[in-house]
Amino acid sequence: MENKVRVPIHLKLTLTIKEAAEYSNIGINKIDTLLKQPNCPFVLFVGIRKLVKRREFEEYIRRELII
């Protein structure tokens, strides 16, 4: 049996959309819409899967007044 190591969200480099939603209290659909924008600074594609770069996402939230 494998023991999976659970890394706390605040230490992860990338987050799933669901984790980003829980972390930021922003809805899944809104985050997905943001990730689809051209030149989104916090999207990382792994194949067809979209991940959120946590540090860049945090910086984006700090900068923006309205999302």
> pLDDT digits over 2-58, tens only?
778 889 999 999 999 999 999 999 999 999 999 999 999 999 999 999 999 999 999
DSSP code string of 9-58: GGG-SEE-HHHHHHHHT--HHHHHHHHHSTT-TTEEEETTEEEEEHHHHH
The conformation of residue 63, written as its DSSP 8-state character, comes to H
Give just the sign of the alpha carbon dihedral 5, 19, 51, 60. Answer: negative
3-state DSSP assignment of residue 62: helix
User: What does CATH list as the number for 9-63?
Assistant: 3.90.105.50
Which pLDDT score is estimated for 17?
98
Give domain limits for the chain.
9-63
pTM (predicted TM-score):
0.88
